[in-house]
A and B are shown apart, each in its own frame.
Chain A
Amino acid sequence: MAERKTMMAMKQLMLRYPTGKVALSGINLSIEQGEFVYLTGESGAGKSSLLRMFYGGLRPTSGQLHVQGWDMREASEDDVRSLRRRTGVCFQNQRLLFSRTVFENVALPLHIQGWDKKRLIPRVQKVLDYVRLGDRLWSYPEALSGGEQQRIAIARAMMATPPVVLADEPTGNLDEETARHVLDLLMGLNQLGMTVIMATHDLHLLNSHPGRVVQLHAGALVGDSYAP
């Protein structure tokens, strides 16, 4: 069996905000290609901070962090841009552009990479078909339900077929059935070969959707296991 590539490698990783608050400390963790990882922990445990570090939104204060081969303490601006192009992100509040159509929202990652409208339309259509919103190509996000908006965010994150997808509380405000469906989609991306790292509070979802569970508490790593 071929050896799996290490996507994230952390050694004594520490993050301190300019305010002096220590968000993460002494994190030693490695995430391999193709894993489905749940980041769990109470509010303020450091889940979102860790996810932000994975796309270069925050730089480590000390320790080591390698993401997709880049040393995040030394990475240049261009390196961070390249990393972001290879990372799909579902943000906590989705960050959809409400003045833009679903097409314009979902097309954004590849439009940034230079794709023209002609090539983008069939591609966006295909991705929206995957999240079962193929008929909403020209709708505006405000016309969609919370679950549909979350699926649009997932469609946008998978648009450029990135090797890593980060999802920050993607099921946070959804009912159980919709949350399960959103998780099905993320599991589907994982089965397509993408490494999925998801911060969540909804531990009950782990029963139906197995994965590696990394538990944080007050900025420290307190658990790393497989569930169920």
Chain B
Amino acid sequence: MHPKGVRVHLPGGWNMPPMGIHQYLALIIVAVALWALGSVWMGLQATGDWVGSWQKNMVLHVYLPQESNDKLARLKSDLQNISGVVTVVSVSHDVAANWMQQWLGKGVGDVSLMAKHLPETLVLSLQHSDGELFVVDDVRETAQRVGASINEDEVRLLGMRDVLDQAEYLAWFVTLLLGLAMALIVSNTLRMILLARADEIHLMRLMGAKEWFVRMPFLLEGSALGAAAGLLAWGLLWPWVWGISSWLEASSVSLNIWGLLLPLLFGGAVLGCLGAAVATARLESPDSVDV
């Protein structure tokens, strides 16, 4: 075997080339970009967790005063006819009393008497769409016609859902842009390495090497560079999370950082491989076989 201290790096095939300054620089740049992406998605995850389950099943409560309870059936029918309203369910006083009892506890005594004075309540589930707030306007108008009102706090939450949806679109857009930028960075780095190794590539071709044999180390290098950057970016998310841990705790937000490991690792590898494929797309040597 070879003596100690001697590292054998045969070019071509499945052999990874040695790391140099260009690769380390690209690793850091790509890791920072992936870290930024990880932070964006982590932020979305935190907001989603903070907003809670209402984000998925948005309901709207409509309240009709006791004195107008003769209009309840008409109101229910009118609300059901509004396009975008999926269901309209009437909440009986017994159900309301049960819920209040559970919420307030037994220490306050029997709440059924108090529940009897509550307004008539309808629970509407809405179809999730871009025109949700227009549906809310229709619901409000219909409710006001019979002297009822809607829960405006829930309307504000509906608006929040739209903001979150837009933020997610934006996150995908940023992911796409940064992904392309990262692929270009890897591609540019490998292009420089390719130029530095032009003699080696030329020689391998002159000796009858197949194209996959010549290109494979660069594809491996790009993938490894991207995966390593993904791992580094994931590691750099932890100080971020530790830094805001008290805020997360106060807001009852739990983040799943482990869930970002595989997307960052494989996403980085795929982008790195893509960059390498772009870099090696035009890899010409004099005396090529197709002269």
Q: Are A112 and B8 in contact, with the CB atoms below 8 A? A: no
Nearest chain B residue, comparing its CB with the CB of A77:
B289
Q: Are A89 and B206 in contact, with the CB atoms below 8 A? A: yes
Residues of B within 8 A of A81 (CB): 208-210, 289
Shortest C-beta distance, B197 to chain A (Å), equals: 9
Q: Are B289 and A108 in contact, with the CB atoms below 8 A? A: no
Q: Number of residue pairs across A and B with beta carbons under 8 Å?
A: 77
Say yes or no: A112-B204 contact (C-beta < 8 A), given A81-B210, A100-B11. yes
Q: Is B239 an interface residue (CB 8 A)?
A: no
Residues of A within 8 A of B1 (CB): 121
Residues of A within 8 A of B202 (CB): 95
Of the candidates A58, A83, A95, A111, the one having the most CB atoms from chain B within 10 angstroms of its own CB is A111
Nearest chain A residue, comparing its CB with the CB of B202:
A95
Distance between Cα atoms of A95 and B10 in the complex (Å): 16
Q: Is B113 an interface residue (CB 8 A)?
A: no
Total B residues in contact with A, Cβ cutoff 8 Å = 26
Q: Is B141 an interface residue (CB 8 A)?
A: no
Q: Is A107 an interface residue (CB 8 A)?
A: yes
Total A residues in contact with B, Cβ cutoff 8 Å = 30
Residues of A within 8 A of B6 (CB): 101, 138
Q: Which of the candidate stretches A4-12, A37-45, A49-57, A195-203 sits at the interface with the other chain? A: A49-57
Q: Is A219 an interface residue (CB 8 A)?
A: no
Q: Is A59 an interface residue (CB 8 A)?
A: yes
Residues of B within 8 A of A100 (CB): 9, 11, 200
Say yes or no: A97-B10 contact (C-beta < 8 A), given A58-B291, A84-B206, A112-B213. no
Shortest C-beta distance, A182 to chain B (Å), equals: 20
Distance between Cα atoms of A28 and B213 in the complex (Å): 37
Distance between Cα atoms of A85 and B11 in the complex (Å): 16
Of the residues B13, B200, B289, contact of A56 by C-beta under 8 Å: B289
Shortest C-beta distance, B46 to chain A (Å), equals: 48
Residues of B within 8 A of A57 (CB): 206, 286-287, 291
Say yes or no: A97-B200 contact (C-beta < 8 A), given A52-B287, A104-B10. yes
Q: Is B165 an interface residue (CB 8 A)?
A: no
Q: Are B207 and A104 in contact, with the CB atoms below 8 A? A: no
Question: 8 Å CB contacts to B: which residues of A114-137?
Answer: 117, 120-121
Say yes or no: A108-B204 contact (C-beta < 8 A), given A58-B291, A77-B290. yes
Shortest C-beta distance, A214 to chain B (Å), equals: 22
- Of the A-B pairs whose beta carbons lie under 8 Å apart in the complex, a sample of 6, sorted by A's number, is A56-B287, A84-B208, A111-B12, A112-B204, A112-B207, A121-B2
> Interface of A with B (CB < 8 Å)?
52, 55-59, 77, 80-85, 89, 95, 97, 100-101, 103-104, 107-109, 111-113, 117, 120-121, 138
